Amino acid sequence: MSSSIEWKVAAERDLMNLGSRPRLFVRGEGSHLWDDEGTRYLDFLGGIAVNCLGHAHPVFVEAVSRQAATLAHVSNLYTSEPQLALAARLKRLAGTGEQGRVFLANSGSEANESAIKLARLHGNPRGAQTILCLEGAFHGRTTGALSLTPKAAYQDPFAPLLPGAKAIPVTIEALEAAFAEGGVAAIVIEPIQGEAGVRELPERFLARARELATAHDALLILDEVQTGSGRTGRWFAFQHPDVVPDAVTFAKGVAAGFPLGGLITFGAASELFSPGTHNSTFGGNPLASHVADAVLGFIESEDLLANVTARGDQLRAAVAEYPIVSGTRGAGLLIGVTLEEPVAPQVAAAALERGLIVNAPAADVIRLAPAYTIGDAEIDEFLNLFREALAAVAQTQEIPA
């Protein structure tokens, strides 16, 4: 297609009306993207925390090419060496021990659907059917995952949803009260609420959830679709407070852009699924499994988690001094930049016009989720472009800078 008008017409004509598409990207390399007009952009959103190695990384390209030329798919009736290798690596990185098990799917929503079924298998035999979630949570767009995503704009058009889902405030008092009511099969928690604006949990919240889940024979399930695979500087965010869940879901960055998600179980929860209770035709296919194993292996061998931690600290310290910035939150390279006014969408738009990709998960928050491979050059470029975008919005909105 030769012009922006042509592709926009085609998108409006042929694609579902599910949101604006302001650019047509045609190529990527490292932390940069190019659109159909040849304009270069610095990508500090990473496909929403997916492209952990950036674009067209040699490890990713080689893994896709090698496995695609060897064996791509055999269905869930069989297994493959890449599937076994990835499962073993995930168990080791998560610290499950021998009893842990892995289920491989295709996305974060599918991973969370698997976790919901795990909760049902655990709770139904004893009549416990409540699955707790937190206000502000985002667990996916499929019907079950949406039931645990308590946002009216998302849920109302598709009601009635999954029975038994209950959202509670993000306080230890509300947590204790919910368990005291009884009948809880599981609680599903994001260690950092990404879509709510990169919101951290209160101190000891996860630890108290672990204590209550154990005391009430409920599962503690952590949704690490966004925070897992090293995004926070540890392989999984639950490893920061060292709270061991019964299950953890993952996706996004695990295969650096190749679609893959899954569920890791710990302890007795590993025995809940049995033949016929769950599966996925494409889940665990050799191609996706090999790519994820290669990506995680590279992150590990290059000690990129140390870079995630160091660069995250560097970014938070730098942007804290910028105009209309009120603070930062998050961990590693999942960063929420909080603003003094609810102008985050305008800031994201101004950044895009200047060649910087970020997004606004909340009215007063800009989310950053760049590649784990960023260095001084990418950070310097980001800081210059981000400062310009903030200043432009401050001037337009007449906000004191």
The pair phi, psi for residue 246, each rounded to 5°, is -90, -25
Distance CA 205, CA 228 (A): 18
Return the active site residues.
Answer: 138, 223, 252
Residues in CB range of 71: below 8 A, 6 or more apart: 80, 286, 287
Please give the Cα distance from 315 to 187 (Å, whole number): 33
Q: Which residues contact 54 (CB under 8 A, 6 or more apart)?
A: 28, 29, 30, 31, 43, 46, 371, 373
DSSP annotation of 202 reads P
Tell how many helices (H) and how many strands (E) occur in the chain.
13, 17
Name which of 139, 129, 133, 145 is nearest 185 in CA terms.
129
Long-range contacts for 46-49 (Cβ within 8 Å, ≥24 apart)? 46/253, 46/369, 46/370, 46/371, 47/257, 48/226, 48/252, 48/359, 48/369, 49/194, 49/226, 49/231, 49/252, 49/253, 49/334, 49/369
Q: What is the CA radius of gyration of the chain?
A: 21
Query: Can you tell me the distance from the alpha carbon of 287 to that of 70, in angstroms, rounded to the nearest whole number?
Result: 9
Q: Hey, is 308 helix, strand or coil?
A: helix
- Kindly report the number of other CB atoms within 10 A of residue 275's CB atom: 6
Residue 128: count of CB within 10 angstroms of its CB = 21
User: Which H or E element spans position 26?
Assistant: strand 25-29
From CA 49, how far away is CA 139, in angstroms rounded?
A: 15
Whose CA is closest to 252, among 47, 60, 82, 55? 47
Burial class (CB in 10 A: 0-12, 13-18, 19+), 300: middle
Q: Which of the 8 DSSP states describes residue 375?
A: -
Three-state DSSP class for residue 397: coil
